[in-house]
Amino acid sequence: MSKSFEERMKELEEGYNTMPDTTSPEKIIQNVEKKKKKSSWKKIYAAGGSVLAAGLATLLIMSQPGVLPGGGDSEMPQGSTSKENEQPSEDSKQEEDIPAFTKERAVELMNDYKESFVSLINEAGNDQKIDSYQTKEEVKEHFETTMSGDLAEWMTDSYFKEEGDGVYVIAKDGPTWLEEDQPFELEEVTEKHVKIVQERDNELLGNVEMIFHAGYQGDKWVVDEIESNEAGEFANETNSDLTNTAQTVINMITSQDMKTLASHVHPDKGVLFSPYVNIDEDTQVFQQEEVENFFEDEQVYEWGVYDGRGNTIELTPSEYYEEFIYEPELQDADEILVDELKQRGNMKNNIKDVFPEAAVVEYHIESSEEEGMDWASLNIVLEQDENNTWKLVAIVHDEWTI
């Protein structure tokens, strides 16, 4: 660290007062540089001095940046610059080198972001253990090649757990990716912050707007944050006939009062029963009178196909009720969403495709274990009839899927 002007002058004067008459200029400088005393300043007044000492003082003065000979406090004239000042700062260099964030770069970044996650999932064996990394910290560092530190930490904590013998994948629904074959737009917030906005109508989450935030950090673009706007047409109707009707339907389901439930079924469309949020075209639809006799009906129906197994779901109405409708915690759901389609599983949610004029009230029950797979949701799908009365058109079950 360089000394201040006053410290250098102090050392010079002390060296001058103690030097012998025969000391050479080179020796003076060596004596001054060797002195490391930290005593308090004592000003030494000299009645005279040699030309040599004055010359050295002048040299020291001229060595101070921004100071000119002729006065210790004189500053460099305005407009004068040193070689250091003429060099561009690192920040300005970085600003100049920021690569333009084009759609091509956005696709490349989002593909790298996806691949960093999928590559680990693909290498996991049947026991869900990954081989590439031994600690969660290593996994986080791997993600930081395409993500910000915060997003990498969230991704690691959400989908991986560390045990004594290594790192394991937590079996749960995966993140949402950019669909590069679907239209998207770029919105520049700042030179270092760009939003990648994609409408995901009729995609995994139904009608949503996905927003991927890209940020320029260090010397590269990374995915910094992800958000979605999922509110539907009826999202603000939290205290209305819509929610009252949905709650009535839940009450009738849990109490097995199918006769009362039948009175809330749409008189023309009936009620559709779907075991998953991806509604199949062959899903069963019951009319009011069939709902009324729901538990008395002993016929075996085909309700769809089991996820992960591929075999047909063949059950009586009572059996279907036990497996795909009833949940003990429905009356005390952990979350109730009014026309807000939230990503729960990997399966495409097409409720709004089948019922574009409907409102969906979701009753969600969280997993009994942290980040577990035994969560469930029941979606009550309602449409207004010709009298603007909300009527039940579908009961759609949702759960963790492969």
Per-residue pLDDT of the chain (402 residues; tens, 9 = 90+): 455 545 555 554 555 455 445 445 455 445 545 544 443 333 333 334 444 344 434 444 444 444 334 444 444 444 444 444 555 555 544 455 899 999 999 999 999 999 999 999 999 888 899 999 999 999 999 999 999 999 999 899 989 999 999 999 988 777 889 998 889 999 999 999 999 999 876 444 556 788 999 999 989 999 999 987 665 565 555 447 899 999 999 999 999 999 999 999 999 999 999 999 999 888 999 999 999 999 999 999 999 999 888 899 999 999 999 999 999 899 999 999 998 877 777 788 899 999 999 999 999 998 887 666 889 999 999 999 998 899 999 999 999 886
d(CA 108, CA 113): 9
Q: Which pLDDT value is given to residue 81?
A: 46
List, for residues 328-363, the tens digit of each pLDDT value.
Answer: 899 999 999 998 877 777 788 899 999 999 999 999
Count, in order, helices (H) and strands (E) of the chain.
13, 14
| Exposed/middle/buried for residue 54 (C-beta within 10 Å: 0-12, 13-18, 19+) | exposed
Residue 309's pLDDT is 84
- pLDDT value at position 346? 75
Give SS3 for 143.
helix
Cα–Cα distance measured from residue 188 to residue 173, given in angstroms and rounded to the nearest whole number:
30
pLDDT recorded at residue 114? 95
Question: CATH says 103-229 is which class?
Answer: alpha beta
Using alpha carbons only, give the angle 15, 17, 19 rounded to the nearest 5 degrees: 65
Could you give the dihedral angle defined by the CA atoms of residues 21, 24, 25 and 26, in that order, rounded to the nearest 10 degrees?
-140
Q: Residues 177, 114: contact at Cβ < 8 Å? A: yes
**DSSP secondary structure letters along 234-246:** TTT-SSSHHHHHH
The predicted structure's pLDDT at residue 203:
46
Q: Would you state the torsion angle of the CA atoms of residues 35, 36, 40, 42, taken in this order, to the nearest 10 degrees?
A: 10
Task: Write out the CATH class of domain 241-399.
Answer: alpha beta
The span from the CA of 177 to the CA of 253, in Å, is: 36
Predicted TM-score (pTM) of the model is: 0.46
Query: Where do the CATH 3.10.450.420 domains begin and end in the chain?
Result: 103-229
pLDDT of residue 215: 95
What's the pLDDT score for residue 208?
76
Residue 235's nearest CA partner among 341, 366, 123 is 341
Query: Which pLDDT belongs to residue 201?
Result: 62
Tell me the per-residue pLDDT of 184-238, one tens digit each, with 9 for 90 and over. 999 999 999 999 999 876 444 556 788 999 999 989 999 999 987 665 565 555 4
